[in-house]
A = this chain, B = another copy of it.
Amino acid sequence: MARKTATPQLTQDHTELIVLSVLSEGPSYGYSISKQIAARSEDEFRIGASQLYPLLTKMEKQGLVETDWEEIKSKSADPDAPGRKRKWYRLASKGERRLQQRIEAHKRFTSLINSFIATDQAAGAVA
Contacts and interface: CB of A to CB of B under 8 A. Distances in A.
A116 to B, nearest CB: 4
Interface residues of A, number: 39
A113 B106 contact: yes
A101 B5 contact: yes
Contacts of A8: 11, 13-14, 17, 102, 105-106, 109
Interface stretch (A21-29, A48-56, A65-73, A77-85): A21-29
Contacts of A22: 116
Interface of A: 5-9, 11, 13-14, 17-18, 21-22, 24-25, 37, 40-41, 44-45, 99-103, 105-106, 108-110, 112-113, 115-117, 119-121, 123-124
Contacts of A17: 8, 113, 116-117
A124 B103 contact: yes
Nearest to A103: B117
Contacts of A103: 117, 120-121, 124
A21 to B, nearest CB: 4
The 6 closest A-B pairs by CB, nearest first: A8-B13, A7-B109, A21-B116, A24-B120, A41-B112, A18-B116
